[in-house]
Chains A and B, each alone.
Chain A
Amino acid sequence: EDKVVQSPLSLVVHEGDTVTLNCSYEVTNFRSLLWYKQEKKAPTFLFMLTSSGIEKKSGRLSSILDKKELFSILNITATQTGDSAIYLCAVVNTGNQFYFGTGTSLTVIP
Chain B
Amino acid sequence: NAGVTQTPKFQVLKTGQSMTLQCAQDMNHNSMYWYRQDPGMGLRLIYYSASEGTTDKGEVPNGYNVSRLNKREFSLRLESAAPSQTSVYFCASSIMGSNQPQHFGDGTRLSIL
Contact = CB atoms under 8 A, between A and B. Distances in A.
Interface stretch (A55-63, A69-77, A92-100): A92-100
Contact of B99 (A36, A50, A90): A50
Contacts of B40: 9, 102
B96 interface: yes
B50 A96 contact: yes
Interface residues on A, range: 20 to 34
Interface string A23-55: 000000001101010000111110010100000
Contacts of A50: 99
A41 B92 CA distance: 13
A31 to B, nearest CB: 7
Nearest to A43: B104
Contacts of B104: 42-44
A96 B97 contact: yes
B106 A88 contact: no
A34 B94 CA distance: 13
| Secondary structure of the A contact surface, majority rule | strand
Given A88-B42, A101-B42, A42 B90 contact: yes
B106 A42 contact: yes
Contact of B45 (A9, A31, A41, A98): A98
Given A42-B104, A42-B107, A96-B94, A32 B45 contact: no
Interface of B: 4, 31, 33, 35, 40-45, 48, 50, 58, 90, 92, 94, 96-97, 99-107
Interface of A: 6, 9, 31-32, 34, 36, 41-45, 48, 50, 88, 90, 95-103
6 tightest Cβ-Cβ pairs between the two chains A and B = A102-B42, A42-B104, A100-B43, A45-B101, A41-B106, A100-B42
